[in-house]
């Protein structure tokens, strides 16, 4: 039986990728953000996942405004990174886990979700940068990938309730997977940020802290807002919180916070990192 070891939640600001490429992680601007990762690395060393199921949003690379699936699941043997316009270096390719992807897709469709299935899929900074943060300097990624893209870009957006339900359905699919894999869940993006419009640069630390405090113990409380409430509170790109809510849903056991870091700002974003371990429920 597979094991869901826990969830890693992190911002995916493109400038992080540029900072890694330049090797400036210890400079004063970057250090408070990168200092959040040694505890993540220590946790990964003992959690030893072999597969990462990643909830993220595509920013106009694989999907554009002309074709925008609400939920898309990758089922490719391999995924390439590409740069949708930030001038970032290319990140290493990702080995897929197509059998597990199809198992998840079967389970989702059987649970009345209607995902788009992608046997070819490019992945952008919002997937590659979290991998670089979790496994810096790895010659090859030590985990296989199942990418799950959520539309946080073009309205209408899925509701937080639906994203939590999607995550829970993915968690149930993983629990019914017979393989021996150890699976880590990633949720990327956020926290508060708005890149455009009159509120460009908007950050809401009180709301971010509320989300960090609530995600582990009471994700349903976050799911009672609607997506427009999140935009009002966290900014129009802060709605990437939907990826975190879905990822939290895939943690089916008793969650235990391992570490968190919150630093404002990185670029235009309130940057946050958190690990929730997924402990097996205590038998009744």
Could you say which residues in the range 163-202 bind ligand DHB, by CB under 6 A? 189, 193, 195
The region of 66-74, 109-117, 189-197, 228-236 touching Fe ion under the rule CB under 5 A is 189-197
**Residues in CB range of 198: below 8 A, 6 or more apart:** none
In whole angstroms, the minimum distance from the beta carbon of 173 to ligand DHB comes to: 27
DSSP for residue 158: P
The rounded distance, in Å, linking the Cα atoms of 262 and 32 is 9
User: Among 12, 193, 210, 263, which one carries the catalytic annotation?
Assistant: 193
13 binds, among Fe ion, ligand DHB, none (CB under 5 to 8 A by kind): ligand DHB
- Active site annotation includes 125: yes
Q: Is 108 in the site for ligand DHB (CB under 6 A)?
A: no
For residue 265, give both structure tokens: 């700002």
Nearer to ligand DHB, 13 or 234 (CB): 13
Q: Is 151 in the site for ligand DHB (CB under 6 A)?
A: no
Q: Is 237 in the site for ligand DHB (CB under 6 A)?
A: yes
**Residues in CB range of 82: below 8 A, 6 or more apart:** 61, 90, 122, 124
Q: Which of 269, 273, 275, 277 binds ligand DHB (CB under 6 A)?
A: 269
Task: Classify each residue of 42-80 as buried b or exposed e, where b means 16 or more C-beta atoms within 10 Å of its C-beta.
Answer: ebbeebebbbbbbbbbbbebbbeeeebbbbbbbbbeebe
Interface with ligand DHB: number of residues (CB under 6 A):
14
Instruction: Give the dihedral sign, CA 176/114/279/34.
Output: positive
**Residues in CB range of 95: below 8 A, 6 or more apart:** 77, 78, 141, 144, 145
**What does the binding site for Fe ion look like in residue numbers (CB under 5 A)?**
189
Provide the binding-site residues for ligand DHB, judged by CB under 6 A: 12-15, 59, 126, 189, 193, 195, 237, 240, 267-269
What positions carry a catalytic annotation? 125, 193
């Amino acid at each position: 039986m597979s094991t869901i070891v826990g969830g890693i939640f992190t911002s995916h600001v493109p400038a992080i990728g540029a900072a890694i490429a330049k090797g400036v992680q210890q400079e004063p601007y970057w250090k408070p953000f990168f200092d959040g990762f040694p505890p993540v690395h220590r946790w990964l060393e003992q959690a030893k996942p072999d597969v990462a199921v990643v909830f993220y949003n595509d920013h106009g690379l694989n999907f554009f405004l002309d074709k925008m699936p609400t939920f898309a699941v990758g089922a490719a043997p391999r995924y390439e990174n590409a740069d949708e316009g930030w001038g970032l270096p290319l990140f290493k390719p990702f080995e897929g886990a197509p059998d597990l992807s199809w198992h998840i897709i079967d389970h989702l469709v059987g649970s009345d979700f209607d995902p788009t299935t992608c046997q070819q899929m490019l992945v952008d900074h919002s997937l590659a940068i979290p991998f670089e943060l979790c496994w810096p300097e790895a010659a090859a990624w030590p985990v296989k990938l199942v990418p799950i893209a959520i539309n946080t870009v073009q309205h209408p957006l899925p509701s937080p309730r639906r994203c939590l339900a999607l995550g829970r359905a993915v968690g149930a699919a993983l629990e019914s997977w017979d393989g021996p894999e150890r699976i880590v869940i990633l949720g990327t993006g956020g926290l508060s940020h708005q890149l455009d419009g009159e509120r460009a640069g908007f950050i809401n630390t009180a709301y971010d802290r509320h989300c960090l405090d609530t995600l582990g113990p009471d994700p349903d409380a976050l799911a009672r807002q609607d997506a427009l409430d999140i935009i009002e509170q966290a900014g129009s790109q802060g709605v990437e919180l939907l990826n975190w809510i879905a990822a939290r849903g895939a943690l089916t056991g008793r969650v235990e916070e391992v570490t968190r870091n919150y630093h404002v700002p990185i670029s235009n974003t309130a940057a946050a990192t958190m690990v929730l371990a997924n402990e097996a429920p205590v038998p009744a």
